[in-house]
Structure 1
Amino acid sequence: MKRILLVRHGESEWNAIRRLQGQADIGLSALGEQQARTLASMVATYAPDVVLTSDLKRAVATAALLGYADAVREPLLREQSVGNWTGAEIATLMAETPAAYAGWRAGTFAPENGEIWADFRARIRQAIQAAIDMPDETILMVCHGGVIRAALDSTLGLAPARIIPAGPASLTILAFPKGEARLEVFNATTFSSVLDAPD
């Protein structure tokens, strides 16, 4: 059966201080590196046939720490661009523009110069469809929290407002029995799951 394993990168330096990064190319924190190493044994049990990664360095580094330094870099798997909000502190956005932040989180608002949800979801759907079309059964995608939400929206119709952010170094699995998507695993880790992960 076709399975797509979606791994969010380990905690980044900006995740640690709750700063929005979008497509800013921010590296992993020391904790993020540890999280990725810890997740490696879980991911290995699924023996992925193909490994793809976002080309942003926090995802590339996570793939390497999972044991897949030769993962194919796929720009379609980049995080959603947050435009002029890049580098903004989440607490400040929530305090100063609560409706806009809530709308962005729900997929109904895009900050100036940011990527609108419909376009982002379509980009991620393109990446998911390419994986479905591969002859291989198990595809690992090392990506970002927004990518996972967009994948669940585009395959299952699960709106982003109804999904908590996937935690750092967590595993989500979509399966496609008879071509129909189903969610098998969400936000799984080998350590205590982070339920209030920053975007």
Structure 2
Amino acid sequence: MGELMVIRHGQTEWSLSGRYAGRTDVPLTAAGEAAARALAPRLAQRRPAVVFSSPLSRAVRTAELAGLTGVRPDPDLLEWDYGGYEGLTAEQIEAGRPGWDLWRDGVVPGDAAHPGEGLGQVAARTDAVLDRIRPLLAEGDVAVVAHGHLARVLAVRWLGLDPSAAGLLGHPHPGTLGLLGAEHGRPVIAAWNVP
């Protein structure tokens, strides 16, 4: 059985400044492009059988620069829809909502382009992705190029945990790799935040 390779897209101006970029299509910075290219040698060693990506350009471009081919855009890999918090930093949100925690408190509704999404909705999307990926792992490794919060929910759902457990997992840095596999028949996180 192969492993699920979870790749976070490279750096963007918003990730650099700590702004929440859910559905806003923010391009990679030069540093983000360099980090994506730096993943290519490691990914070439693995040669994933199938590659899925968020349809947002920062993920698709990361896949391309990392040398991944045959990428299949999957709307279920879009980042959490942050609703009214789109484009804000945690500090800005906490100024109006002291003690706010994304995993506990969620988001507030936004405009028509950013209506917002609950953690359960994000988990349902990652569960659907995992349902499609699990059978493909019999053919070898599968790569997913996605986003930070989405990757954390995907990882804990791989482990069979409640989606709120994603708050206990370190945020993957832009342009890094995680490996989800199995050990003695049980799902494990084999690696996380690998540059």
Given the two structures, how large is their TM-score scaled by the length of structure 2? 0.88
Q: How does 1:1-199 map to 2 (within 5 A)?
A: 1-100=1-100, 102=101, 104=102, 106-112=103-109, 113-134=115-136, 135-156=138-159, 157=161, 159-176=165-182, 180-189=186-195
- Does the residue aligned with 2:33 lie in a helix, a strand or coil? helix
**Closer, same or farther: CA 127–52 of 1 in aligned 2, 3 Å:** same
- Does the residue aligned with 1:152 lie in a helix, a strand or coil? helix
Query: Once structures 1 and 2 are overlaid, which stretch shifts more, 72-81 or 127-136?
Result: 127-136
Unaligned runs of 5+ in 1: 190-199
Unaligned runs of 5+ in 2: 110-114
Q: Which amino acid aligns with 1:114?
A: G
Q: Which amino acid aligns with 1:146?
A: H
Q: List per-residue Cα deviations over 1:8-29 (Å, max 9, x = no partner).
A: 0000121122211111111111
Q: Distance in 2 between matches of 1:55 and 1:179?
A: 32
Cα pair 1:2 1:176 within 8 Å, conserved = no
C-alpha root-mean-square deviation of aligned residues, in Å?
1.7
Moved segments of 4+, more than 6 Å: none
> 1:183 Cα shift?
1.0
Given the two structures, how large is their TM-score scaled by the length of structure 1? 0.86
Cα pair 1:108 1:117 within 8 Å, conserved = no
Aligned length in residues: 186
**Percentage of pairs with the same residue:** 28
